[in-house]
Amino acid sequence: MKYVQEYGQDNYYDDIVVLLGTGLRVSELYGLTKQDVDFKTRCIYIDHQLCQTADKPYFITSPKTASGVRTIPMTDAVYLALKRVMKNRTVSKSERIIDGYGGFIFLDKSGMPKVAMHLQNYMRGIQKKINRIYGNSFPKVTPHVLRHTFCTNMQQRGIDVKSLQYLMGHSNVSVTLDVYTHTDFHAVQETFAKVAANL
């Protein structure tokens, strides 16, 4: 994160903070409009995503599954990141409406809504810089790794599996457990000690 904050050509720092603090899919993040973020209750409402294909540059779809419709609470870091994005958001005179949605929060330099490709390209560029400095031993980091990291961090901090499934928007808890959570002996040992102390 420090590298992204200090050496990034285009600042995607807040995008990454929000992804690491919410577990959102990138298309859900970039689909966020002003109406989807409630700073009073500190909640983010997810019921759509912004996508792009070679044939269709912008379009709105429902989340990946019905379970993808959800409300995500904001941590302090996410709250502050979204406030910064809103403060620095520059809008052109005619704001883009896509399939009835407008007021997109995350915009590129030209005032158009960002899409997943923006962050993918940015992270590829950061990866090249890191490899030049540290060599190719640095693990590959993609936008989806941020979602994995959120899930793993939440699981290791003791959130219950059903709550984690809800936050991730998974239709099946086995996806949450098998695909996104990674643990090691140290994490198991810590969790075991906490539980054992209450037996």
Q: Which residues are catalytic?
A: 25, 64, 144, 147, 170, 180
3-class SS letters over 77-129: HHHHHHHHHHHHCCCCCCCCCECCECCECCECCCCCECCHHHHHHHHHHHHHH
Q: d(Cα 18, Cα 81) in Å, to the nearest integer?
A: 7
Strand partners, 72: 44
* Closest-CA residue to 171 (of 24, 22, 65, 47): 65
Sequence length of the chain is 199
What are the φ/ψ torsions at residue 51 (nearest 5 degrees)?
-125, 170
